[in-house]
């Protein structure tokens, strides 16, 4: 997409600190990292989010994450990492080119995870049933 900043990074039109590249996937450092080594893993072809990304392309991204995460951890001396994905603007997505966030974690880095809340009695079972109604056998695309 011509106005997509990540497509421009793929095309070499704007610079990025690339750490891994193959014919389908690119990984580069986030310009505003939560921690040093915060990496964005993207398909070279433009898809707006995970919902729109074909399953084969999604698998390629996970394979690259498996490949590069040990090097990222060693490279920055992290003890673990969070894998993140903001799917849609309501979820905090700002760049509408599919990407995973790989966020190295350190002891006492101050990064907070979500805090859980409680279901009402019986609510959890109802929610599970409502979701299962919409599952389509052998399909990875629930909505479009």
Residues annotated as catalytic are 99
Selected range binding ligand 5GP among 26-34, 69-77, 105-113, 116-124, rule: CB under 6 A: 26-34
Contact between 57 and Zn ion per CB under 5 A:
no
Beta-carbon count within 10 A of 69 CB: 20
Q: How far apart are CA 18 and CA 42, in angstroms?
A: 11
Number of residues that bind Zn ion (CB under 5 A): 6
State the burial class of residue 103 (Cβ atoms within 10 Å of its Cβ: 0-12, 13-18, 19+): buried
How close are the terminal C-alpha atoms of the chain, in Å?
Answer: 20
Regarding 86 and contact with ligand 5GP (CB under 6 A), the answer is yes
Binding at 32: pick from Zn ion, ligand 5GP, none (beta carbon under 5-8 Å per type):
ligand 5GP
Residue with Cβ nearer Zn ion (38 or 97): 97
Q: How far apart are CA 35 and CA 110, in angstroms?
A: 10
Pick from 18, 24, 44, 46: which binds Zn ion (CB under 5 A)? 46
Name which of ligand 5GP, Zn ion, none residue 7 binds, using a CB cut-off of 5 to 8 Å depending on partner kind. Answer: Zn ion
Tell me: does residue 30 bind ligand 5GP (CB under 6 A). Answer: yes
6 touches Zn ion by CB under 5 A: yes
Residue 124 CA: distances (Å) to CA of 9, 114, 119, 129: 43, 18, 6, 9
Helix (H) or strand (E) holding 84: strand 80-84
Task: Choose among Zn ion, ligand 5GP, none what residue 1 binds, the Cβ cut-off being 5 to 8 Å by kind.
Answer: Zn ion
Q: Which stretch binds Zn ion (CB under 5 A): 5-13, 21-29, 71-79, 133-141?
A: 5-13
CA–CA gap between residue 65 and residue 88 (Å, rounded): 21
């Amino acid at each position: 997409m011509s106005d997509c900043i990540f497509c421009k990074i793929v095309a070499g039109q704007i610079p990025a600190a690339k750490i891994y590249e193959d014919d389908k996937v690119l990984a580069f450092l986030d310009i505003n990292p939560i921690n040093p080594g915060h990496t964005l893993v993207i398909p070279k072809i433009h898809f707006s989010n995970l919902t729109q990304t074909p399953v084969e392309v999604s698998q390629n991204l996970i394979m690259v994450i498996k490949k590069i995460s040990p090097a990222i951890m060693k490279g920055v001396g992290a003890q673990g990492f969070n894998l993140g994905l903001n799917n849609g603007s309501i979820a905090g997505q700002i760049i509408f080119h599919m990407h995973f966030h790989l966020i190295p974690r350190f002891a006492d880095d101050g990064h907070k995870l979500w805090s859980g809340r409680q279901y009402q009695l019986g609510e959890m079972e109802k929610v599970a049933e409502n979701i299962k109604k919409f599952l389509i056998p052998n399909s990875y695309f629930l909505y479009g």
